[in-house]
Amino acid sequence: MPADPIPAEDPTAESPTALVRRARKINRVLAETYPDARCELDFDDPFQLLVVTVLSAQTTDRRVNAARPALFAAYPDARAMAAADRAHLEQLVGPLGFFRAKTEALLKLSAALVADHGGEVPPRLDDLVKLPGVGRKTANVVLGNAFGVPGITVDTHFGRLVRRFGWTEETDPVKAEHAVGALFPKRDWTMLSHHVIWHGRRRCHAKKPACGACPVARWCPSYGTGPTDPEEAAALVKTQGPA
């Protein structure tokens, strides 16, 4: 529960230094609130993380995690997946929706890894974003969580929250990534992404944020967007990400 949740000052009136201090304070409190924050997609190696991140589009991490064991038992690496039987691959990814498009994406992605990188996932942003179906968001997930290379993951939760926090007004993911990145040391980028995304999944919901049960309410200019009554807000808090 926040103590004395008072709306932050208008962020447009903040000095750059004050904005940095407020942003970093929010991140520190979110780190304390979610000490177990991490990538919620299960993976054993960079290839698995790249594949499950691609599969996570328009579905939940939990569903992807449920499909993962059978998928990688059949196709454990890029070479095996590039040579996969299309019908069998469609069957394995079927529960995730859009199975034909996702199967096509995995076949093209795996073939490109084999042809251009010897079947290995490259640990560089410029190489990752050239792969079929891989944008900056997916690339930063892989870099930060599989290779330890700092990156900011601007998904729908992250974009929504950084605008609510007044860290940036940018709606373009790449511009938002750069704007937010300028507020934090590069070493913090990956965990910053996890903290913000976990908060977005558990408290700061798109339609009805739990403002009255928010640990960073006093520093948030959007306080009051959702219920401020503590009991009503507490009922909105989720203990885990979406099913």
DSSP state letters, the chain: --SS--PPPPGGG--HHHHHHHHHHHHHHHHHH-TT----S--SSHHHHHHHHHHTTTS-HHHHHHHHHHHHHH--SHHHHHT--HHHHHHHHGGGS-HHHHHHHHHHHHHHHHHHHTTSPPSSHHHHTTSTT--HHHHHHHHHHHS--------HHHHHHHHHTTS----SHHHHHHHHHTTS-GGGHHHHHHHHHHHHHHTS-SSS--GGG-TTGGG-TTTTSS--SHHHHHTT--SSS--
CATH 1.10.1670.10 domain range(s) in the chain: 11-38+151-234
The segment(s) of the chain belonging to CATH 1.10.340.30 are 46-146
Identify the active-site residue in 36, 137, 172, 208: 137
| CATH 1.10.287.10 for the 46-146 domain, yes or no | no
pLDDT at residue 11, as a whole number: 55
Q: So what's the pLDDT on residue 141? A: 98
Told to judge if 108 belongs to the known catalytic residues of this protein, a careful annotator would answer: no
Distance set, CA 86 to CA 79, 104, 113, 116 (Å): 14, 8, 18, 22
Residue 214 near residue 220 (C-beta atoms within 8 A): yes
pLDDT at 3: 45
All residues at 6 or more sequence positions from 66 whose CB lies less than 8 Å from its CB, including other chains: 95
Residue 13 is predicted with a pLDDT of: 78
> Which listed residue (155, 186, 207, 229) is catalytic?
155
Q: Is 155 a catalytic residue?
A: yes
Query: pLDDT tens digits, the chain, 243 residues: what are they?
Result: 444 554 555 556 799 999 999 999 999 999 999 999 999 999 999 999 999 999 999 999 999 999 999 999 999 999 999 999 999 999 999 999 999 999 999 999 999 999 999 999 999 999 999 999 999 999 999 999 999 999 999 999 999 999 999 999 999 999 999 999 999 999 999 999 999 999 999 999 999 999 999 999 999 999 999 999 999 999 999 987 765
Q: Cα separation of 221 and 199, whole Å?
A: 16
Query: What architecture does CATH give domain 11-38+151-234?
Result: Orthogonal Bundle (1.10)
